[in-house]
Amino acid sequence: MSADARRYFDLPSPFAMKRGGALTGARLAYETWGRLDADRANAILILTGLSPSAHAAANDEDPSPGWWEDMLGPGKYIDTDRWFVICVNTLGSCKGSTGPASIDPASGSPYRLDFPALTLEDAASAAFALVRGLGIDRLACLLGNSMGGMTALAYLVRHPGSVHSHISISTAPQAQPFAIAIRSLQREAIRLDPNWNEGSYDEERYPEAGMSIARKLGVITYRSAMEWVGRFARIRLESDQREDEPFGVEFQIESYLAGHARRFVRSFDPNCYLYLSRASDWFDLAEYGGSVREGLARIAVERALVIGVETDILFPLTQQQEIADGLQAAGAEVELVALDSPQGHDAFLVDIPRFGAAIAAFLGRM
């Protein structure tokens, strides 16, 4: 049995969902690093992208590297000698928190498509309940990246006064049509896989092909053309590595994508993917007051750091600018950092030195 640092927080039951329905006996998985001060004022909450677990970095109970290993830990950019860091597995995921792959207590079987419609506001409410459950009235910092950045905006707009400062990374105040198009196509690839079977798959009949296409399309849009020119160019696989089938893989870039897909396909539940993907499309801060600007105006933080990447085609820099401008207009002291990292949307997972420097400088001034 592998090490496991997850703790579980029981959500209020029933837990009402924004679009109707409620969850009974739902819970969140989370991990923590560092120690909460006596005055409970040194907590940082991290909200993740669509697929990561709560295991952002190694800790005592689970020394395996986390998805943000180089960012987070004693003496690192987010210094857990100073900060008490919480990372939560989003509601609707399959990494310990309740989601479509969890058992529905009403039936004794997995929810599958009986899971109620999920929104990022629900994920934010659940995260807020966890923070309160840990006895924290006000977060020192709420940090969200990608989908987690949207969840963070939902958290902030619905719980004014609950956060001192905010770090927003490569995210959006509302889903734009290009991102919706990509995600819609990812969902379609899964839904069209006969093995998806309206959500009723199992280990034997599993929508592997659909998940593979969805993941590859994700990776294509998470990185950048510029990075790949330098990294893969037109390098071909050795002939013994090529697939022996018509139109099989031939270039390194194709096997790179295949590797990503292979690692993902069985490690993330397809129905959870569909629910979280759609929740991202639905998210729109303009629901709060009629426009994104007005939604941001309802967010009250003292300071904010907004980081974006020029090569990000999924969450373009213009949207980071929109967030920064809106938070500033709302009275926050805002710093916008536009990085020219070649790694596109994924840069926050890869270009740790630059993201880390910006984050450490921001936290250092607190």
- Please give the residue ranges that form the binding site for its own copies (CB under 8 A): 113, 174-182, 184-185, 187-189, 191-192, 194, 198-199, 209, 212-213, 216-217, 220, 224-225, 228-229, 231-234, 246-247, 249-254, 257, 274, 278, 281, 284, 286, 313, 316
Q: How far is the CB of 13 from its own copies (least distance, A)?
A: 26
Gap between the Cα atoms of 216 and 342, Å rounded: 19
Complex with its own copies: residue 76 or 216, whichever CB lies closer = 216
Bridge-based pairing state of the strands 78-79 and 72-73: parallel
Long-range contact pairs involving 158-163 (C-beta distance under 8 Å, separation at least 24): 158/121, 158/124, 158/125, 158/128, 159/124, 159/128, 160/298, 160/299, 160/300, 161/300, 162/128, 162/131, 162/137, 162/138, 163/138, 163/139, 163/301
CB of 338 to its own copies, least distance (A): 17
Please pick, among 122, 193, 269, 312, the residue that the annotation labels catalytic.
312
Q: Between residues 10 and 254, which has the closer beta carbon with respect to its own copies? A: 254
Give catalytic status of residue 345 as yes or no: yes
In whole angstroms, what is the distance from residue 53 CA to residue 56 CA?
A: 7
Q: Based on CB atoms, which residue is closest to its own copies, 156 or 257?
A: 257
Nearer to its own copies, 209 or 300 (CB): 209
Is 346 part of any known ligand binding site? yes
CA distance 196 to 206: 6
CB of 192 to its own copies, least distance (A): 4
Q: Which residues contact 363 (CB under 8 A, 6 or more apart)?
A: 44, 77, 78, 79, 83, 141
**Shortest reach from residue 109's CB to its own copies, in Å:** 17
Tell me if 145 sits within 8 A of 166, measured CB to CB. Answer: no
What are the residues facing 16 on neighbouring strands? Answer: 22
Rg (CA), the chain: 20
The answer on whether 231 is annotated among ligand-binding residues is no
Tokens of 202: 């199992």
Residues 169, 304: Cα–Cα separation, whole Å:
11
Q: Which of 53, 93, 125, 146 is catalytic?
A: 146
Shortest CB 220 distance to its own copies, Å: 5
Complex with its own copies: residue 71 or 157, whichever CB lies closer = 157
Q: Catalytic annotation on 312?
A: yes
Residues annotated within the binding site for substrate are 215, 346
**Catalytic residue numbers, as ranges:** 146, 312, 345
